[in-house]
Amino acid sequence: MNVLSAARGLVKEHGQGHSRVRAVDAVDLDVAAGQMLAVMGPSGCGKSTLLHLLGGLERPTGGEVWLAGQRIDTLNERALARLRRRSVGFVFQAFHLMEELSAAENVELPALLAGRSRRAARRRACLLLDRVGLAGRTRHLPSELSGGQRQRVAIARALANEPLLVLADEPTGNLDTAATLDVLRIFEDLRAAGQTLVIVTHDERVAATADRLVSMRDGMFVDDIRLAGSTTGWLGGLIGLKG
């Protein structure tokens, strides 16, 4: 197995003294290149914290985090920020788009921050917006887009720098069934193209699209299941219901 992202003895604690809580408790994890991994579990079990640790948004209390053969938890802040911009794409439940920027400007922003020319960044943004079905919405502000369209912009933005790893935290949590269907089709296309994804979700339909499902409880893994990894069944059912 070609491991792209890995954790070894990963620990994250919050608080101090008697109020100290172990959000992630001595976790070991290997994510293969090209794999779509879903992480499920009750609220507060450590799912989002794990995602933040894998992407370098938080530093562990203990253990190691690796990406593409490089240990990232020991990097200084500048090097870690550079790695996040170039190698990791983030998708959040709340979209986190810049409200004063158009869809295209939101998508091109990470590329500009990574040092691409404005022309190259805009060309990449337009290509990605077309890929997620928003070619006709490049100039629209987030306030002029539906929730599903805003999430598709956020996914396009996550892909701006051709990241090795895409991390998605409840990406369909604010979406209706139709918008969820659109987002899952995009994830299916990304996986088919060899993109590595780790998706935190409460939605069993989302988890069913993955190659692998990890369940968490109290900061630890309690199940690790290989799945068929196809949306064909339930997507087809939803299409039938919509039709």
Return the pLDDT at 19. Answer: 81
**For 7-48, how does the pLDDT look when each residue is reduced to its tens digit (9 = 90+)?**
999 999 998 877 889 999 999 999 999 999 999 999 999 999
Return the pLDDT at 60. Answer: 97
User: How would residue 236 be classed by pLDDT, with cut points 50, 70 and 90?
Assistant: very low
Return the pLDDT at 1. Answer: 79
Question: Given strand 70-71, what is the order of strands in its sheet?
Answer: 21-32, 3-14, 62-67, 70-71
Return the pLDDT at 221. Answer: 96
More confident residue, 156 or 204: 156
Return the pLDDT at 228. Answer: 67
Domain boundaries, the chain: 3-95+158-242
CA 54 to chain centre: 10
| Closest listed residue to residue 28, CA positions, set 59, 66, 70, 1 | 66
Q: Please write down the long-range contacts of 236-242, taking CB distance under 8 Å and 24 or more positions apart.
A: 238/177, 238/181, 239/181, 242/177, 242/178, 242/181
Task: Say which range, 92-101, 147-156, 204-213, 227-236, has the weakest mean pLDDT.
Answer: 227-236
CA distance 50 to 41: 12
pLDDT, mean over the chain: 91
Residue 238 scores a pLDDT above 50: no
Task: Say which range, 14-23, 64-73, 110-119, 128-137, has the weakest mean pLDDT.
Answer: 14-23
Q: Which CATH homologous superfamily contains domain 3-95+158-242?
A: P-loop containing nucleotide triphosphate hydrolases (3.40.50.300)
Question: What 3-state class would DSSP assign to 3?
Answer: strand
CA distance 28 to 26: 7
What's the burial of 141, exposed, middle or buried (CB within 10 Å: 0-12/13-18/19+)? middle
Return the pLDDT at 120. Answer: 96
Return the pLDDT at 232. Answer: 45
